[in-house]
Structure 1
Amino acid sequence: MDSLTQIVLGAAVGEVVLGRKIGNKAMLYGAIAGTIPDLDVLASHFTDTVTALEIHRGFTHSIVFSVLFAPIFGWIVSRYEKYKNFKGWSWLFFWAFITHPLLDAHTTWGTQLFWPFDLRLAFKSIFVVDPLYTLPFLICLALAMFQHKTSPKRRLYNRWGLILSSAYLVISMILKGLAYMKFENALDAQQTIYTDIDTRPAPLTTLLWTANVDTKDAYLVGYYSFCDKKPITFYKYPKHHEYLGDLRNNDKVKRMIHISKGWYTITKKNDKLYFNDLRFGTIGIKPDNNQFVFQYEIQVLENGEVRFIETPKDGRDAKNLMADLWLRIRGN
């Protein structure tokens, strides 16, 4: 999830653990702890794109990290804070650390919660930024913040924030199941032969869902809104995996294919080769849009080294996407 959401979650968890004893400092340290796992993004400044993608939401988003580093941070803070309870601080950091990847597991990218095992947990039931999850949670946290540390209202407001946000996650899973059945029924009605379906929510909402459908030579992409009245239309994106040629045997290419879980297309533009991670869709929902959210130029250097360079995004595309999403949520 986005940084603000993880800050709010961490602060709420910190309040549960130590709020009665240290007041708003529990929220402060919980918020700090809630952002620490995302420091793995700094890897992109020190390594290549493929390795950075492998590291992202890996070790720092695991149970192992939470268990090992919570006592370390707990000991450090207990050394200079007035509240000297090492166990209390360790519990605060542990719960703030572990709830971070548990929330991220509901997004499309997912987390390697069980690191070092190569198993990425991704429920794909909520977009990385979702105001309906974050805003009620933030309001409840703000209300709790202005209450005395021993006030029953403080605990009530914070509890309601956790209840509402958790309930929304449960609802998102139910909506995902309903959307999946709609996509499945639409494919059956259109007599489409496919091997797999991958569903996820559209940006900023759980009212609009999208599905990637794996067929022999292409992926089909469809959108379904709970306000739809017409049948679902699927748009075709050719795989063109053959464009890779001998590059398929390259180690970095194999790793990128593994990162994408096999959901990728290859495109050619101006004699350049691009790797498109289909799991995150396109920037926009129009069928003629081939600008993917995560697109990487495949560069082959003179010494044979292969590099993946992420294609920069245009801010204007994001504005167009918002307009398209609003229209599509209202139904087809």
Structure 2
Amino acid sequence: MDSLTQIILGAAVGEAVLGKKVGNKAMLYGAIAGTIPDLDIFSSYFTDTVTALQIHRGFTHSIVFSVLFAPVFGWLVSRYERYKDFKGWAWLFFWAFVTHPILDAHTTWGTQLFWPLEERLAFKTIFVIDPLYTLPFLVFLILAMLQNHSSKKRRFYNNAGLILSGCYLLLTFLLKWIAVAKFESALEAQQIAYQQIDTRPAPLNTILWSANVETKDSYVLGYYSFFDSQPITFETYQKNHQLLGDLRNDPKVQQMTGISKGWYTIFEKDGKLLYNDLRFGVLSMTPGSQDFVFQYEIATDDQGKVHFVEQEKSPRDVKKLMSDLWSRIKGN
């Protein structure tokens, strides 16, 4: 999830663990702990694009990290804070650390919660930024913050935020189940033979859902809104994996296809060989658009080494996507 959401969750967890004893400092340290796992993004400054993608939401988003580093941070804080209970601080950091990847596991990217196992836990029930999850949670956290640390209202507001956010996450599983059923019915009605289907909510909401559907030679992509009145339509994108040629055997290409779980297309544009990661959808809902959210040029340097270069996205593209999504959310 986005940084603000993780700060809110960390602060609320910190309050639940130590708020009654240390007041707003519990929220402060919880918020700090809630951001620490995402420091793995700095790996992009020290390694290549593909390796940085693989590192992200890896070790720092695991139970192992939470168990190893919670006592370290707990000990450090207990050394200089007036409240000296090492165990209390360690528990605060542990729960703030571990709830971070559990929340991230609901997104498309997922987390290596059980690192060193390579498998990522990804329920794909919520977008990385979801105002319906974050804003009510933030309101309850602010209400709790304004109360005296020993007040029953403080605990009530904080618990209400945690319960409401948790219930919303549970609701997203039901919404996903309904969306999957709708997509499967549409594929059957349109006699589209497919090998597998992958669904997720569209950006910023859980009303509009998208599906990637793999067929023998192509992928078909579709959208379903709970306000739809017309049948679901699908757009076809050829896999074009053969365009990779001998690059298919390159370690960096294999690493990238592994990260994408095989959900990718290849196409050529202006002399460039481009790699589309399908899991995060398109930037434009215009039929046939090849502008994907995560698109990389497969470049080869003078030594024959392969590099993936992420293609820049303009503010205009993002603005148009938001407009298209809002129109599509209202139904077809």
Q: Report the TM-score, using the length of structure 2 for normalisation.
A: 0.99
* Alignment correspondent of 2:230: 230
User: Post-superposition shift, 1:10?
Assistant: 0.1
For the residue of structure 1 that corresponds to 2:297, the secondary structure is: strand
CA–CA distance in structure 2, aligned partners of residues 286 and 232 of structure 1: 15
User: Post-superposition shift, 1:289?
Assistant: 1.9
| Matches for 1:77-92 after TM superposition, within 5 Å | 77-92=77-92
2:92 pairs with 1:97: no
Amino acid aligned to 2:61: H
* Alignment correspondent of 2:212: 212
Amino acid aligned to 1:58: G
* Alignment correspondent of 2:114: 114
Amino acid aligned to 2:280: F
* Alignment correspondent of 1:32: 32
| Matches for 1:9-20 after TM superposition, within 5 Å | 9-20=9-20
> What is the number of residues matched between the two proteins?
332
CA–CA distance in structure 1, aligned partners of residues 277 and 321 of structure 2: 18
Q: Structure 1: which 5+ residue stretches go unaligned?
A: none
* Alignment correspondent of 2:157: 157
* Alignment correspondent of 2:221: 221
* Alignment correspondent of 2:138: 138
* Alignment correspondent of 1:68: 68
2:174 pairs with 1:180: no
| 1:174-198: CA deviation from partner (whole Å, max 9, x where unpaired) | 0000000000000000111100000
For the residue of structure 1 that corresponds to 2:296, the secondary structure is: strand
Q: Report the TM-score, using the length of structure 1 for normalisation.
A: 0.99
CA–CA distance in structure 1, aligned partners of residues 271 and 191 of structure 2: 37
CA–CA distance in structure 2, aligned partners of residues 285 and 86 of structure 1: 53
CA–CA distance in structure 2, aligned partners of residues 170 and 207 of structure 1: 15
User: Post-superposition shift, 1:304?
Assistant: 1.1
For the residue of structure 2 that corresponds to 1:4, the secondary structure is: helix
CA–CA distance in structure 2, aligned partners of residues 292 and 8 of structure 1: 30
* Alignment correspondent of 2:311: 311
CA–CA distance in structure 2, aligned partners of residues 235 and 254 of structure 1: 27
User: Post-superposition shift, 1:284?
Assistant: 2.5
Q: Structure 2: which 5+ residue stretches go unaligned?
A: none
| Matches for 1:242-257 after TM superposition, within 5 Å | 242-257=242-257
CA–CA distance in structure 2, aligned partners of residues 267 and 185 of structure 1: 30
2:148 pairs with 1:148: yes
CA–CA distance in structure 1, aligned partners of residues 94 and 284 of structure 2: 39
| 1:94-142: CA deviation from partner (whole Å, max 9, x where unpaired) | 0000000000000000000000001100000000000000000000000
* Alignment correspondent of 2:3: 3
Amino acid aligned to 1:281: G
